[in-house]
Every structure is written in C-alpha cells, then in structure tokens.
Homo-oligomer: A and B are copies of this chain.
Amino acid sequence: MSEHRDILQRVADGELTVEEALRQLGGGREYDLGFAKADLSRPKRCGISEVIYAAGKTPEQVVDIAEALHRDGSAVMATRVTEAHFEAVRIRYPNAVHYKIAHIITIPGHKPIEPVGRVAVVAAGTSDLPVAEEAAITVEFLGGRVDRITDVGVAGVHRLVNRIDDIRKARVVIAVAGMEGALPSVLGGLIDRPLIALPTSVGYGMHLNGLAAFLAMLNSCAPGITVVNVDNGFGAGVAATLINRLA
C-alpha cells in the first residue's frame, strides 16, 4: 500500500487531481488493440514483460501485439509459433529470430542484454528437446545464461553422473523428462540447487499425455522439487529466471 500512500499524500498536498489519482489507483498502463489489451505495466509489477502466446492467433494478430509491446524499445518474444507467424513477423522485423525446435520468435530490443547467472536445462531424451529449448530460450530472452545438458535419461545413469559437475555450476536447474519422469528424482539427490521439474508429453501406451511423468515428478522421493505443467517450457523458464535474478 506504499504506492497508495504516495498517491494519497500527493492528493492531500494538491499535487494530484482526484481524476488522475483515480486512474493511478486503477492500476497499470494498457495498450488497447481492439481484440486484446497489452499489459504494459507487467514488467514493473511482475518482473517479466508480457509474452505472446501465438497458438490460435493469426500472423497479423501476432505482428500487431508485437508492435504494441515493442513500442518502447523492449525486446519481444512469441511462443508456440508456426512458420506462417515467422513469415509475417520478419517482414515487419527483419532482425527477428526464429528458433525452430523451440517454436519461438524473438525480436531484439533497443538495449542489448548482458546475461546474468546460470541456469542448467537438463533433458532426458532427444524427444524432450522442443520443450527443453522453449525453457532455455525463455531464460535467455529474459536475460539469463543457459547450460544445456541433453540425453542423460536415467536408463543409462552413468550419462547423468558424467555431467553432474557441469550441472552443479548452475544457480537453478530445470530437469526435463517424459515417459516415467524419473530424471528429477535422481538429479535431486545429487545437487543442492533449486530444481524445477518440467514433464513432457513424450511417451506411448498408457502415458496419458504426460500424466505419468507428471505424477512421478510430483511424488519424487527427493524433497524440494517443484513442478510446472506438462510441456510448459515457457513457465519453467520464467520461474527459473525469477530465481536466477535473486542477488
């Protein structure tokens, strides 16, 4: 309520009109696009700028939202993009980058970012890579440094042990796995860092679209593991970023 106190004090001091105070109490700035409103005050409030979830949006809508978010020179990211989205975006932003495996587009901002910290993205199998990359590129877009450790599934546990020193250098670890989802449990017993488990829908038979991996991560015998939704690489990347930023 400290913001509230400031506003009230300025009203009491006559520095602010009632109408203006009302607008400020009402909350953040928005940019109205007709079909959507871009929340421009989110970076200040939540530390993370708004990101475009492209699935189900037309290429034109993605370009329009990108323009609204890029208006003040901020970098822009869109997830779950198709080739068609990228075709439209790079006409408007020739320096846009398309990460094909991760299905992500980024548009650089006016100020270059110096990466900070270190996040390890550890993936069990090659089929988990698209989700792992969504997480990794999200972290990089938000200003973090990423180490990628792949193909370290638990059915060849020596592969994981071989890479454990690399993983221990990170401040935060994202463990990505489908099928039986055992990677975070094994990893959780080997490191002393915050560990985010990211289940994928990779599997077959009665895998139930990732539920098997998800439940395994949720019930890990290694304490202190947190979980995000199935295939939600973006969410894992944001969570890792908020942790990685802690001074």
User: A residues near B, CB below 8 A?
Assistant: 1-2, 4-5, 8-9, 11-12, 14, 17-18, 21-22, 25-28, 30, 35-37, 39, 42, 45-48, 51, 55-56, 124-127, 129, 151, 153-159, 161-162, 164-165, 171, 179-182, 185-186, 188-196, 203-232, 234-236, 238-239, 241-243, 246-247
Complex formed: what's the CA distance from A126 to B32 in Å? 12
Instruction: Write out the residue numbers on chain B whose beta carbons fall within 8 Å of the beta carbon of A235.
Output: 223-226
Instruction: Write out the residue numbers on chain B whose beta carbons fall within 8 Å of the beta carbon of A12.
Output: 11-12, 14, 17-18
Instruction: Write out the residue numbers on chain B whose beta carbons fall within 8 Å of the beta carbon of A214.
Output: 206
Complex formed: what's the CA distance from A95 to B107 in Å? 46
Complex formed: what's the CA distance from A231 to B28 in Å? 30
Question: If the complex has contacts A1-B161, A26-B1, A37-B151, are A219 and B206 also in contact, measured as CB distance less than 8 A?
Answer: yes
Are B155 and A185 within 8 A (Cβ)?
yes
Instruction: Write out the residue numbers on chain B whose beta carbons fall within 8 Å of the beta carbon of A45.
Output: 156, 189-192
